[in-house]
Structure 1
């Protein structure tokens, strides 16, 4: 019977933590075109990650860039759990298509990769997750681990494909584990087929319960409409 409630449980945040009062950020506009990846970096920001791969299927290597602000005001001293000072500088995800004369900006987003705001939470792009390009699809993986307040840890991966002028969400995968009990749970949504896979198991054995559902809400999600990667409800139906 637990699988009946698994989908609802997995749409919530995988952890509970107290956030710091971080300074507000005015996000800059990323340049519309540039000759190199570095040309897309606004003043006061740095190029944290650069990934190459063909996203628009024209045979050229496009760019997926993770930019991070370098503002000392976002380095916060605190007296709670976790590291202090704490770096709350936010990120921008930028995608640029290759052209014969250089690169043109296809998308920029600062909501999908959550801004760091709690010292007890891991970096969302840590532990081998992050941004990648696989089979002409853009994948953004977020890692969750809390050093206080929750036993839950896991990864959440969003898969986007360039379709009709947007990066459409075609896949969502979340796998979590309770560190105290070894219980594992998974949710996988294929937005192209409308199929939902729910799994439940344990690190103590290799048995796994699987339940399949049909996605009731067939809303067309895009990189811009997903919003905060932690707050996103992959089923979109209020369950």
Structure 2
């Protein structure tokens, strides 16, 4: 019975996933602006912003995300997980503070937070989701968090957090943290990578069980990836470690 139910859920999830998303074109944001709202292009909405010194010059830099609001990107869906699916994309951006005031755009990225293509998968960047996502600036780094939760078609839930440092003219990945819990059996796995020290911490256990087994390893010496080299933040598998958990 359980096997049959699992097969049904997987089939339903596949039906809910879309491979025919409406095409979109991504605007180039303004080069300079007085505040975050000044970078928002027409037809887009400022979704989240935070400030903090990212480039070490003592000035509070700006990190923000904009979300397109195009009705044509809200597509029909059914019969599972809602009548419509909002596939509107996002752009993450960093603007560095200028001595005379205002900000200068330093980078923008539209691949780390992927467009939604499955109505049964929660919006991973939504701070109000079951596993809340979002972004913030903390201790000179930018952290981007993606939640993972399926209302149908999968038992796993968890989060992925990317930690970036502004270095050599780009946002470069210095930390990766992954958690996963199987809702059907409580199995829990975690992965934490510090790309500065090259240390990797892998944990395995069960929810509510204090006996978590931990093992350590290292990643090879390689140049730090930029945010644009990561691609889809939900699909990225650093050094194949997620797939081997």
- Which of residues 190, 196, 203 is equivalent to 2:207? 203
- Which of residues 135, 150, 158 is equivalent to 2:154? 150
* Residues 194 and 218 in structure 1, CA contact (< 8 A), matched pair in contact too: no
Structure 1 residue 65: deviation in Å?
0.9
Cα separation, 2, equivalents of 1:232 and 1:217: 19
Structure 2 SS opposite 1:160: strand
- Describe the superposition over 1:168-225 as per-residue Cα deviations: whole angstroms up to 9, x where unpaired: 1000000110011111000111111111111001014111011111113624211111
Structure 1 residue 144: deviation in Å?
0.3
1:178 aligned onto 2:182? yes
After TM superposition, the structure 1 = structure 2 runs for residues 64-213 of structure 1, keeping only pairs within 5 Å, are 64-99=63-98, 100-126=100-126, 127-213=131-217
Cα separation, 2, equivalents of 1:96 and 1:236: 32
| Aligned-CA RMSD value | 1.7
Structure 2 SS opposite 1:235: helix
Structure 1 residue 152: deviation in Å?
0.1
- Which of residues 219, 225, 231 is equivalent to 1:227? 231
Structure 1 residue 165: deviation in Å?
1.2
Cα separation, 2, equivalents of 1:59 and 1:204: 43
Q: Which moved more, 1:163-172 or 1:54-63?
A: 54-63
Cα separation, 1, equivalents of 2:239 and 2:223: 9
- Describe the superposition over 1:35-65 as per-residue Cα deviations: whole angstroms up to 9, x where unpaired: 1211101111111111111111222211111
* Residues 186 and 206 in structure 2, CA contact (< 8 A), matched pair in contact too: yes
Structure 1 residue 79: deviation in Å?
1.8
Please report the TM-score for the alignment, with normalisation by the length of structure 2. Answer: 0.87
Cα separation, 1, equivalents of 2:121 and 2:36: 30
Cα separation, 2, equivalents of 1:97 and 1:129: 23
1:35 aligned onto 2:39? no
* Residues 124 and 132 in structure 2, CA contact (< 8 A), matched pair in contact too: no
Structure 1 SS opposite 2:161: strand
**More relative contact order in 1 or in 2 (CA 8 Å, sep 6+)?**
1
* Residues 78 and 84 in structure 2, CA contact (< 8 A), matched pair in contact too: no
- Describe the superposition over 1:118-155 as per-residue Cα deviations: whole angstroms up to 9, x where unpaired: 10001111343310111010000000000111100000
Number of residue pairs matched?
Answer: 224
Alignment gaps of 5+ in structure 1: 1-15
